[in-house]
Structures are given as structure tokens and as C-alpha cells.
Amino acid sequence: MTETAHQDRPVLGIALMSGFCVLAPLGDSLAKILGPIVPLAVLLLVRFAFQAIILTPLAWKARKGISSRVWGFAALRTLLHIGGISCMFTALVYLPLADAIAIAFVMPFLMLLMGWLFLGEEVGPRRLAACAVGFAGTLLVLQPAFAEVGPPALLPLGVAVFFASFMLVTRMIAREIGAIPLQAMNGWMALVCLIPVAFWAGEWPRVDASAIALLTAMGILGTFAHLLMTWSLRFAPSATLAPMQYIEIPVATAFGFLIFGDLPGPQAALGIGLICAAGLYVIWREHKVARALTTPSAAPP
């Protein structure tokens, strides 16, 4: 399909992004169930194995020459991806699902600031103020969680730092390689890193059939969720889809209640509301500025 055809189907793009917002927290819910019984190295190994196996056939069709520069940044991206998922899976052992995901949603604000610091992207005072509000909301969620579980409550901040850096690196090579080949490369590179770690740790649990089924579902859901996100960008612009990602927070809250019986307290709920409001404002400002830049100026008299 042509790029124009992709842009002409925003409803399909929104539907695909909505699917991501449902499948991603569902996969995290499975990781939370498995966390106490399956070592982290094994969880990561399964997650990236499914990513490599599922995406390689799709990436093979779009294969082309890849520069050494892309290989280097892809390796860095893989390490950041491993770090981000490791922090999230570990955080889910200690924190309610909604709290962990809400704290990690400080990532868009970090990306805005990192783009400003490292890529020279323009960030106005209104968006900086929105970042401050978003960080304040994060602190409101973080404070009761830290009081309850201690330092592990900081792990979602690590998720945000790793994935903000992950997205920054992705932005640097996005025009040189397709999303699916890049994700397939990530899967195989991660396996090269994780297989020796898993064998060295010697933590191979004896799991029953139900745990194997959950591991399989987790790997498939994690991979398919990111495929939905990638495909959604083919059919709708990112400005249309970005607000949809905040659906992930109420969906995570619903899964947390239905599966684990967890609900955010009043302070955490207020913080989640501030994070969503600030994030949506940043997206709105980005969209408004982009429209202003692309709107032709009036002809001189």
C-alpha cells in the first residue's frame, strides 16, 4: 500500500492502537503472575525468543543491506530494551499493575526533555510546564508505593529512563531500517545476551503445564502487541494515535482489579489523572505546533 492509503484509514489505525493498549497490560499481568515463580532471566529469554521467532519471517521479506552504524545502534537499543523490560517485570513483583504502568508513563516527558537536550529539538515553556505537572503526578503515585514496598517502587522510573533512551536511539535510525526488521534484530541480539546469562545463573525452574501456557501467552502477547503498534502507524499519523496510548492506564487498572483485586488509592488516582492530563496536553501542543509549521502563510499583499 502507498503511504497515502495508510493515512486514509485512521479508524483502522486507532483500532490497532487500541488493541495494543489492551494486549500490552494483559501481557504485563501474565508477567506479574509468573514473576514469583519464574526467574527474571527465564522470563526475558521467553519474551525475546517469541519476538525473534515470530518477527523473523516478516522481516525476511523486507530484508536489505544494513549499515554498520545501524547494527551498532541496534545493539545499544537491544541492551536498553532488555533493561526496560527487566525493570518492569521486577517492579510487577512488588507493585500493583496500574501503579507500575502509571509511574512508567513519565517516559513521554523524559523523551521530550532528552530530545531537547541531545537532539536540539525545540521545547517551549508550556510543554516544560506540562512536564513538571506530569512529574508531580508521578510523585503522587510513587509516594504511597514507596512507603509500602520501599526502593522497588523506583523501578518503573528505571523503565521510563530505559525506554525513553530506547525511543531516542530508535529515532536516530528509524529512517534507515523498517520497524519489523529492527524488532527482529532486537530479538536475536537479546537472545545472544540472555542465553549465557540464563545458563550461568542456573535458575531453570520446574514449571507445570499451566506455567508453560502462561509463558507462551506472555511471549505471544508481548510480540503481537508491539506489532499492532507498528501496524497502527501505517494507517494513521502519530499525532492521532499518541493520545490513544493513555488508554493503557485505565485498562491496566481494570486488569489489576479483575485479576489481582488491586485499585489505586485516592492519592495515586489523583497522580494518574495528572499524568494523563499533562501527557495529553503535551501531545495537543505538539500537534498544534506541527499544524502551524505545515500551514502555508498568507500571501503578501
Q: Given pLDDT bands bounded at 50, 70 and 90, which one contains residue 159?
A: very high
Of 170 and 156, the structure prediction assigns the larger pLDDT to: 156
Integer CA distances (angstroms), 50 to 20, 55, 121, in order: 17, 8, 36
Integer CA distances (angstroms), 29 to 146, 237, 254, 255, in order: 21, 29, 11, 7
pLDDT of residue 129: 83
Task: Return the percentage of the chain with pLDDT > 90, whole number.
Answer: 37
| pLDDT of 208 strictly over 70 | yes
Q: Given pLDDT bands bounded at 50, 70 and 90, which one contains residue 2?
A: very low
Integer CA distances (angstroms), 269 to 62, 134, 246, in order: 44, 13, 14
pLDDT of residue 34: 93
Of 230 and 218, the structure prediction assigns the larger pLDDT to: 218
pLDDT of residue 99: 92
Residue where the block lists cell 501531545 = 283
Average confidence score pLDDT of the chain? 84
Q: Which of 5-19, 179-193, 198-212, 283-297 has the lowest mean pLDDT?
A: 283-297
**227-266 b/e with 16+ CB inside 10 Å = b?**
bbbbbbbbbbeeebbbbbbbbbbebbbebbeeeeebebee
State the Cα–Cα distance between residues 270 and 95, nearest whole angstrom.
17
The closest of 28, 36, 170 to 103, measured between CA atoms, is 28
For the entire predicted model, the pTM comes to: 0.82
Q: Given pLDDT bands bounded at 50, 70 and 90, which one contains residue 86?
A: very high
Q: Which of 15-19, 20-24, 164-168, 236-240 has the lowest mean pLDDT?
A: 236-240
| pLDDT of 299 strictly over 50 | no
What integer is the mean pLDDT of 204-224?
A: 88
pLDDT of residue 156: 94
| pLDDT of 5 strictly over 70 | no
